[in-house]
Structure 1
Amino acid sequence: MKERIQKLLARAGYGSRREIEQWVVAGEVLVNGQMAHLGQQISTQDKVSWRGKTLHLESRLQATPKVLLYHKTAGEVCTRTDPEGRPTVFENLPRLRQGRWVMVGRLDVNTDGLLLFTTDGELANRLMHPSSEIEREYATRVLGEVDAEMLHRLQTGVELEDGPAKFLRITDAGGEGANHWYHVVLAEGRNREVRRLWESQDVRVSRLIRIRYGHISLPRHLRGGHHEELDVKGMRRLYESVGLSFDDGSLQQERPRRTVNKARSEPTSERGDFRKSSTPRPRVESREKPYANARAKSTGRPNLTSSKPRSRD
């Protein structure tokens, strides 16, 4: 059965659809010795190469897809290589025998929090596509005075340079004085959108942490710079949330994966299915620790507990 080239290569885990489309347009992909074109129908029987390297589509498609949760820290960049020599999120990911990690969205260099990686480019495309309306939730520390009228404008919509934008929900997360924490929810992933929305109201975000992507929350035990593989139940639910099916096959008998310690490459225990905790809180590698609301009133620090997302299944 033939599929469009960008879709088949994405399913095989060679990249996201957008990345593959860029390769095709740049003339870097050949099919049976001829330059490929966007929308071209191919199958696993075709000989496909990228930048001179043969792509093994059939073996890639037979491999079980993986999804990785990663706790990004401020200062890391969301690229495979950085000309300035800054640390990248890919440096801390486990090596793959087959496939490559495809990043689901990105976070800017000064933002902490949850990043998803997968070996299934089609899944990545669905999770990032605006039509899926996947919620992203952030804990934001805002510097400046915020009033009820301002919060109302941010939820009804303001005009940014790339079009109208708004928060779906805003929740007060505690704090006193000039620095106050809020949890905000978006259903899209435009560049620096959270920061630009607050800046449109003449206040500034001094700390930003993504604590949820879709139904997956940042596990509170997952430290900055560490990763954790999603288990079978979590994979099935994630695929279903974007209208895809996940064939676990023999994975039913596999034991849950374990967290890998970046510094020593030693495994530590995992808590299993991330859905069991309806209000997980991230553990942030910083002088500032997450606190409950009651204590936040006296300390000025936030409650980073994620609010329960609406069901999309």
Structure 2
Amino acid sequence: MASAGRDGTPGPRKKPARAQKTGKKPASQKNPKSGGKVAGRGSAGAANAGRSTKKTHRKGSSKPDVTSGKVRLNNARPARHQTAGPDTSEAGATYVADGVRLQKVLAAAGVASRRGAEELIAAGRVEVDGEVVTEQGLRINPDTAIIRVDGARVVIDETRQYLALNKPKGWQSTMADDQGRPCVGDIVAERVMAGQRLFHVGRLDADTEGLLLLTNDGELAHRLMHPSYEVPKTYLATVRGEVPRSLSRTLRNGVELDDGPVAVDSFTALEVYEGQSLVRLTLHEGRNRIVRRMMEEVGFPVTSLVRTHIGAVALGEQRPGSLRVLGRDEVGALYKAVGM
């Protein structure tokens, strides 16, 4: 029967009490799993007050698989929140209380999924400010921390531009030409007018076509052009005459030019036809018309020349006169090549 309130109206109907089972644990009996006491209704507030509110960085108790982390593909894409900043590689990883978890930064950078990033960390493939980090959940400042995955720096500034151009034959490698000849600046004119400050990394002579990089990253451009960093450049050249097998050794040993010796890193004869040869050569020199002068010195003048690679960046199927934005993996590879 429902109980009546003070005003005489029926009160809420009480639920019948459940039958007590023989042997039921009292509220004060210890919980065998936790080793503590199970709190009764009256002590719920006290139990909640003592309970930790700290959440783990990942649901569940499973740990990242180190074995999977060792073989996991590393996309090596630079983090979109980072800038180059000062080199603090000797300082070691610094915990930032209000920072972003390392695996989240790696996932945002496109290196791997959140879970994949945790496996890379567990496998010891991630380095923060010169220190290998294997602990999960390290909080860092993504704007200042220097992160490397497999030695490749995960760095990019969203204001910076990295472009690959297939320079057409007959175009000048300049941003403007006082004689009115077609030049690289004509191709990027709209970007420059929109406020982008771009400059070309090195040059290709007018008769040479192929890969030319454009950027507003001055330090990267400087290092790519400096011979001390020895960034390889690959060319396809059509030369007059049928090249002998001995030519590879000659070019590897070095050829003396009027401005000093030059040697190739590799040389391969690909085709011989109608008194001409198609060859592929790689060298890290950047002097003016270096390939043409070298081949002419050994008796095989160049009739056509295309640059196909700069470091890890390839021309691919890009058509002449077209631009493309470098992928973050390509930018990361360039940074690695010049020690940035």
Q: Normalising TM by the smaller chain, what interval?
A: 0.5 to 0.7
Aligned twin of 1:199: 296
* 1:73 maps to 2:168: yes
Distance apart, 1:63 and its partner CA: 5.6
Aligned twin of 2:185: 90
Aligned twin of 1:235: 331
What SS does structure 2 have at the residue aligned with 1:95?
Answer: helix
Letter of the 1:142 partner, please give it: V
Aligned twin of 2:309: 212
One of 155, 166, 177 as aligned partner of 2:274: 177
Query: Residue 151 and residue 243 in structure 1: after superposition, are their counterparts in 2 closer, same or farther (change >3 A)?
Result: closer
* 1:138 maps to 2:235: yes
TM-score (norm 2): 0.51
What SS does structure 2 have at the residue aligned with 1:181?
Answer: strand
Max Rg structure? 2
What SS does structure 1 have at the residue aligned with 2:273?
Answer: coil
Listed as ranges, the matches of 1:258-297 within 5 Å are none
Query: Residue 175 and residue 230 in structure 1: after superposition, are their counterparts in 2 closer, same or farther (change >3 A)?
Result: same
Following superposition, which runs of at least 4 residues in structure 1 exceed 3 angstroms of deviation?
96-99
Letter of the 2:160 partner, please give it: P
Listed as ranges, the matches of 1:112-191 within 5 Å are 112-191=209-288
Q: What's the CA shift string for 1:99-139, capped at 9, x where partnerless?
A: 41121111000001000001111110011111110000000
What SS does structure 2 have at the residue aligned with 1:196?
Answer: helix
What SS does structure 2 have at the residue aligned with 1:175?
Answer: strand
Distance apart, 1:62 and its partner CA: 7.2
What SS does structure 1 have at the residue aligned with 2:191?
Answer: coil
Letter of the 2:191 partner, please give it: R
Query: Residue 66 and residue 144 in structure 1: after superposition, are their counterparts in 2 closer, same or farther (change >3 A)?
Result: same
- Structure-2 separation of matches of 1:237 and 1:73: 25
Report the count of equivalent residues.
185
One of 94, 101, 118 as aligned partner of 2:198: 101
What SS does structure 1 have at the residue aligned with 2:160?
Answer: coil
- Structure-1 separation of matches of 2:275 and 2:179: 34
Query: Residue 62 and residue 107 in structure 1: after superposition, are their counterparts in 2 closer, same or farther (change >3 A)?
Result: closer
Query: Residue 62 and residue 179 in structure 1: after superposition, are their counterparts in 2 closer, same or farther (change >3 A)?
Result: closer
- Structure-2 separation of matches of 1:116 and 1:62: 17
Distance apart, 1:236 and its partner CA: 2.4
- Structure-2 separation of matches of 1:163 and 1:72: 28
What SS does structure 2 have at the residue aligned with 1:240?
Answer: helix
- Structure-2 separation of matches of 1:212 and 1:87: 23
Q: What's the CA shift string for 1:19-67, capped at 9, x where partnerless?
A: xxxxxxxxxxxxxxxxxxxxxxxxxxxxxxxxxxxxxxxxxx9762110
Distance apart, 1:188 and its partner CA: 1.5
- Structure-1 separation of matches of 2:157 and 2:236: 39
Letter of the 1:195 partner, please give it: R
Listed as ranges, the matches of 1:246-257 within 5 Å are none
Unaligned ranges ≥5, structure 1 = 1-10, 12-60, 245-313
Distance apart, 1:226 and its partner CA: 0.5
Letter of the 2:183 partner, please give it: T
Counting aligned pairs with the same residue, the percent is 39
Query: Residue 231 and residue 151 in structure 1: after superposition, are their counterparts in 2 closer, same or farther (change >3 A)?
Result: closer
- Structure-2 separation of matches of 1:146 and 1:163: 24
RMSD of aligned alpha carbons: 2.1
